[in-house]
Amino acid sequence: MKLNTALLTEVFRKEIALARSSVPLFLCPALARAPFRPPIRRYVPAQAKFLSTSTRRTIGADVPSQAPQDAESSPPSNPILSLPLACPGCGAPSQIVEPDEAGFYTLTRGGVRRFLGYQHGESAAEDQVFSSALENVPEDVREQLGVAELPASAPSTSPAPPAVPICDRCHNLIHHRTGVSIAHPSLDALEATLSESPHKRNHIFHVIDAADFPMSLIPNIQQHLSLAHIRSRNRRSKTHHYAHGREAAEMSFIITRSDLLAAKKEHVDTMMPVLQEILRDALGKSGHSVRLGKVRCVSAKRGWWTKDVKEAIWERGGGNWFVGQVNVGKSNLFEAVFPKGRGEDVNLDRVREEARKRALLDQARQDVSAESDAAEPLASYTPVIGAPEPYSQPEDFSDTDSLLPPPQQETKYPVMPVISELPGTTASPIRVPFGNGRGELVDLPGLERKTLEAYVKPENKLDLIMQTRLAPERIVVKPGSSVLLGGLVRITPTTPDQIFMIHPFVPLQPHLTSTEKAELIQTGQRETGIPTITDPSVYSKMASAGRFRLTTDVTRKYAGPLTRKDDVGLKPERLPFAMYATDILIAGCGWVEIVAQVRRRQLEAPQDAMFVPLGSVDDARLPEVEVFSPEGKGIGQRRSLSAWLVAGPKGLPVHRQRKRQRLSMRSVKARRAPGTVSGGSV
């Protein structure tokens, strides 16, 4: 029990004379001393108040402690050396020199003080002084003092250790949503970091964002990181590859934030064949001959497929590396798939076997030590239960030549990396071991991502990030009209006499207007009340990002009951019209689904051309649109996912038509009415 020392001071001053006259000195020698004074609570001042100019230049310099010392729990003499080696939130090395840089710790912050042991030592000292002063005082005197019962003694078990604190930058990101991005590494830097892995087996998870998939795919990552080749479809292809004298790291693809594609997991699973084909197109020529069975659509927010990834990480062990561009959801996925609390999983057969091995090892140590001094190599080895390979932390934590920082101290529930919308939150690799040395997860800093963030107002940068699933409305664009998205991106149809249907899956406000007005608004030449997030300095940099044709045939999906087998059951080739679509990608923001219906005879290639099959479609006659963006950047294209049919507004007619139609019960009720019989009235 912790008491208020300021309140007790007044009580002691009033009753000190009575206590001295009624209590013998040999029962309470402390009463013969000076009047009671509460312990002075001394706080550690800020860094600038007790560090000299020469000391600030060296992080490891000795700093005098300003906190009270306690016999049982005394704060460290050098608080700098007692801080964590690296911030568990961003991975930056701990320092107290540059307040504006990552990894800076303010020693006066509450969490830091508790970790260093200042507040715990002060409260323990107060309780100990108060208890020792009253334990020899008679009960009647304690009643006069207003303290009938002694404070509860401290529990026999030691208190739980305080949580490892995060740096000031991570603290501001979590509580104030303010911070500065960190310079992004290159692929060469990641390759050098991966080469220092202490594990024999390594696995790389290439994390890709579902919002603009596959624009966040790192091109040629297979060649840059010297990874094991993706296994081809040939059944005789090699399953293991070796590089630099050890087994090359394997790689699998994870599409994060898949809950942005649809509202249910079953709907996202139906998109997997199309997502695999899109990924094959993005991988280039070699993408059509490799196996993509390890592609997973994961949602850390909804928990879709995270359990399977977690079990795969636990069974594989070794080094598991998360590689990807910034703001693709690596840190969020890291927390969802990390095997927390797995030290509690106990296999009795394995425990007995390890106990038998340890008993034999101890006997061997005793036999060898009795004969010679050869027991020293055996003493340095301790078998780890269930570990596929021995894992040891580096002894030299001050190695400045190593690109890979030391791992954190293994706990069942460690501090996870900080999750923030700020690009470049992770400053250095974050290594978190698990399973009593079974393996570790490594969150690598994100690579640079080419987005439109630099062309947006500072207060609207977070508006570019799609955080929740959107259910957009259909916008019908007629000839001579265009669609503006937040005043930043403009979509203009170029096919004459063609009507387009646009479904914007972006967090930007869409606006339909004429092409002339849209061009003036985007370039800042026309004042309007339409909300825009474009920075005024970018108005003169608007350029065309290219023309994009609608190449995906979605006739079967959009035709409804005409092509459904349980209804009319017509083949799409027999219909007089065709539906074509495409997805226009906006880097780091989302996508826009564009659909158009055209007459089939307008798409047929001329029959007088040589080697042209009958009824083939001429790609040059497909509908197309032109997209304008700042400097023509941040725009891409992919096959259409037809997400509007799956993830569109609730009550969509397509969903209602799939249900079985309920028959009318009027005739049945009429036959069952009293006074009637089957076939007519009585």
Q: Is the pLDDT of residue 147 over 90?
A: no
pLDDT at 656: 41
- Alpha-carbon distance of 84 to 562, in angstroms, equals 66
Q: Distance of CA 225 to CAs 138, 183, 188, 191, 405, Å? A: 76, 20, 8, 5, 19
pLDDT at 283: 87
Q: Is the pLDDT of residue 345 over 60?
A: no
Q: Is the pLDDT of residue 661 over 70?
A: no
Token look-up 């400045």 returns: 400
Is residue 202 within 8 Å of residue 321, measured between CB atoms? yes
Q: What is the mean pLDDT of the chain?
A: 76
Report the 10 Å Cβ neighbour count for 438.
24
Give the end-to-end CA distance of the chain in Å, rounded to a whole number: 91
pLDDT band at residue 553 using 50, 70 and 90 as cut-offs:
very high
Q: Is the pLDDT of residue 394 over 60?
A: no
Helix, strand or coil, per DSSP, at residue 271: coil
pLDDT at 50: 31
pLDDT at 353: 67
- Alpha-carbon distance of 583 to 550, in angstroms, equals 8
Q: Is the pLDDT of residue 212 over 60?
A: yes
More confidently predicted of 334 and 219: 334
Q: Compute the average pLDDT of residues 563-592.
A: 90
More confidently predicted of 432 and 129: 432
Q: Compute the average pLDDT of residues 544-549.
A: 96
pLDDT at 547: 96
Q: Is the pLDDT of residue 422 over 70?
A: yes
Q: Compute the average pLDDT of residues 121-130.
A: 61
- Highest averaged pLDDT of the listed ranges 79-93, 205-219, 404-418: 205-219
Q: Compute the average pLDDT of residues 42-70.
A: 34
pLDDT at 433: 92
Q: Is the pLDDT of residue 513 over 90?
A: yes
Is residue 493 within 8 Å of residue 500, measured between CB atoms? yes
Q: Is the pLDDT of residue 291 over 80?
A: no
Q: Compute the average pLDDT of residues 553-559.
A: 91
Among 70-84, 261-275, 301-315, where is mean pLDDT lowest? 70-84
Which residues on adjacent β-strands are paired with residue 256? 209
Q: Is the pLDDT of residue 37 over 50?
A: no
Q: What is the DSSP letter of 659?
A: S
- Highest averaged pLDDT of the listed ranges 268-272, 606-610, 664-668: 268-272
Report the 10 Å Cβ neighbour count for 665.
9
Q: Is the pLDDT of residue 110 over 60?
A: yes
**Nearest-CA neighbor of 19 among 132, 123, 112, 136?**
136
pLDDT at 568: 84
Cβ-Cβ contacts under 8 Å for 225 (sequence gap 6 or more)? 187, 190, 191, 194, 204, 249, 251, 323
Cβ-Cβ contacts under 8 Å for 300 (sequence gap 6 or more)? 256, 257, 306, 329, 332, 333, 335, 336, 337
Strand 250-256 with 296-297, pairing: parallel
Tokens read off for 422 = 């700020």
Q: Compute the average pLDDT of residues 207-223.
A: 89
pLDDT at 591: 96
Among 532-541, 648-657, 658-667, where is mean pLDDT lowest? 648-657
pLDDT at 652: 47
- Alpha-carbon distance of 262 to 255, in angstroms, equals 13
Q: What percent of the chain has pLDDT over 90?
A: 35
Q: What percent of the chain has pLDDT over 70?
A: 68
HEC profile of 583-630: EEEECCCEEEEEEEEEEHHHHECCCCCCCCCCCCECHHHCCEEEEEEE
- Highest averaged pLDDT of the listed ranges 34-38, 128-132, 551-555: 551-555
pLDDT at 85: 87
pLDDT at 80: 67
Q: Compute the average pLDDT of residues 112-123.
A: 70
pLDDT at 242: 57
Among 1-5, 276-280, 458-462, where is mean pLDDT lowest? 1-5
Q: Compute the average pLDDT of residues 173-202.
A: 85
**pLDDT tens per residue across span 60-79:** 333 333 333 443 445 565 66
pLDDT band at residue 274 using 50, 70 and 90 as cut-offs:
very high
Say whether pTM exceeds 0.85.
no
Cis status of the peptide bond prior to 623, with omega within 30 of 0: no
Tokens read off for 189 = 């830097």
**Nearest-CA neighbor of 88 among 159, 174, 195, 160?**
174
Among 57-66, 243-252, 320-329, 636-645, where is mean pLDDT lowest? 57-66
Q: Distance of CA 457 to CAs 328, 451, 520, Å? A: 22, 14, 19
Strand 250-256 with 202-209, pairing: parallel
Q: Is the pLDDT of residue 59 over 50?
A: no
pLDDT at 648: 59
Tokens read off for 214 = 């596959």
Q: Is the pLDDT of residue 573 over 50?
A: yes
Q: Compute the average pLDDT of residues 297-312.
A: 92
pLDDT at 172: 92
Q: Which helix (H) or strand (E) holds 116?
A: helix 110-116
Q: Directed axis angle between helix 5-22 and helix 118-134, to 10°?
A: 20
Spans of all domains in the chain = 5-173, 187-341+390-443, 348-379, 454-657
Residue 586 amino acid letter: I
